[in-house]
Amino acid sequence: MDPSERYIEPTVVDFGTDEHAFASSEIMQDETFGPIIPIFRFKEIPQVINFIRARPKPLGLYCFCTNESISDEILRRTSSGGAIINDVIMHLSNNELPFGGVRYLMFMLNFYIPIEPRGRGPAFPNLVF
């Protein structure tokens, strides 16, 4: 990183199948903004869902998957400020959606409904690192 150029090189941090190293790493302790992506290679979908649900709700959830039943299960069993399947930017393209985490809209006196932007994009876009 060169602060004078205001440029951070895209970086992949691959933890392989070591869930403990992934979960306890410094990069996973706070929100990450920038071209840095931590990777954990899971073995079972319940492992992913349990990992997500055991922590505070994330601002964004990005799932890359060609099996629609798996991506639907992840959307159904988790909660986040916004979730998108096979895309990384489309949910930000609608400026009418709320931003900043899981929010609630007051509706008729005492009823609250969760607002969670969610979407689906094409399977496995061409990502270049």
3-state DSSP of 96-122: CCCCCCCEEEEECCCEEEEECCEEECC
Note the pLDDT of residue 40: 86
Note the pLDDT of residue 115: 41
For the chain, percent of residues with pLDDT exceeding 70: 69
Secondary structure (3-state) at 83: strand
Tell me: pLDDT of 113 over 60.
Answer: no
Tell me: pLDDT of 109 over 60.
Answer: no
The closest of 74, 118, 69, 76 to 97, measured between CA atoms, is 118
Q: What are phi and psi of 118, to 5 degrees?
A: -140, 150
Name the more confident of 17 and 59.
17
Residue 75: in which H helix or E strand, if any? Answer: helix 68-77
Note the pLDDT of residue 90: 73
Neighbours of 40 (CB within 10 A): 19
**pLDDT tens per residue, range 28-50:** 888 777 788 888 888 889 998 99
Which pTM value belongs to this model? 0.68
DSSP assignment string, 1-53: -BTTTTB---EEEE-TT-HHHHHHSGGGSS---SSEEEE---SSHHHHHHHHH
Note the pLDDT of residue 120: 61
**Residue spans per domain, the chain:** 58-64+74-129
